[in-house]
Structure 1
Amino acid sequence: MPFIHIVLLPVKADAPQELVDQVVSELNQLKSHIQFVVSSRCGRTVTQRGKQYTHALVVELEKSEQLSAYANHPAHQDALQKIKQIVSEETLAIDFDAVH
């Protein structure tokens, strides 16, 4: 059963745009670095409904058992270190099994 990992990112207003763009690009390319990632999408919100959360990441894994391996994968760890440089506070994550 597919597994969905969603992360909301409160990017700092003064974060360098070049670094933000780099992080978004890397998050969008996670599939090419992590074999069991089915898809990854990251982008900036286009409405004000996200409150302090300006960006979102949606990752689809093949199954829930892969979440730990995903979290510990070097590509994810590298992205995580860059995310910490641009966020103003903690991120918010939610994970669920996708039922079709």
Structure 2
Amino acid sequence: MTKVVHIVIVKFKPEVTEEVKQQAIRDVIALKEVIPEIINCSAGTTYTDRSKGYEHGWVVELEKEEHLPLYAEHPSHLDFVKQYKPLFADLIALDYVY
């Protein structure tokens, strides 16, 4: 069966506190509890200097391609985006199947 991986890496704006950054990580991981299409989720902070300023990222795994729009449009995901996207200086998202 084909699975979908949704990867997001972000640069927060300079004024965003470390506390808020860590809360974003906790909040994205918590999406697994409320969005049934998520089969796995991880998030964290880079520990190397290879990230070109992108300091936080998360990976969301979904069961099949049809689940990506369900995840993207889920009210809890939309709430997360509404709360945190204004705090990002930049964001890269990548989706692939395997």
Whether these two folds match at TM > 0.5 is yes
Q: 2:53 matched to which residue of 1?
A: 52
Q: 2:83 matched to which residue of 1?
A: 82
Residue identity over aligned pairs, in percent, reads 34
| Secondary structure at 1:15 match in 2 | coil
Is contact 1:40–1:58 with CA below 8 Å preserved after alignment?
yes
Letter in 1 for 2:28: L
- CA RMSD across the alignment: 1.2
Following superposition, the deviation at residue 40 of structure 1 comes to: 1.1
Following superposition, the deviation at residue 30 of structure 1 comes to: 1.3
Q: 1:16 matched to which residue of 2?
A: 17
Following superposition, the deviation at residue 2 of structure 1 comes to: 1.2
Structure 1 segments (4+ residues) deviating >2 Å = none
Following superposition, the deviation at residue 78 of structure 1 comes to: 1.1
Q: May I ask how many residue pairs the two structures share in their alignment?
A: 97
Q: 2:37 matched to which residue of 1?
A: 36
Q: 2:26 matched to which residue of 1?
A: 25
TM-score with structure 2 setting the length:
0.91
- Show structure 2 runs of 5+ residues with no match: none
Greater strand share, structure number: 2
Partner Cα distance (1:84, 1:36) in 2: 22
Is contact 1:24–1:42 with CA below 8 Å preserved after alignment?
yes
Letter in 1 for 2:17: P
Larger mean Cα displacement after TM superposition, 10-19 or 32-41: 10-19
TM-score with structure 1 setting the length:
0.89
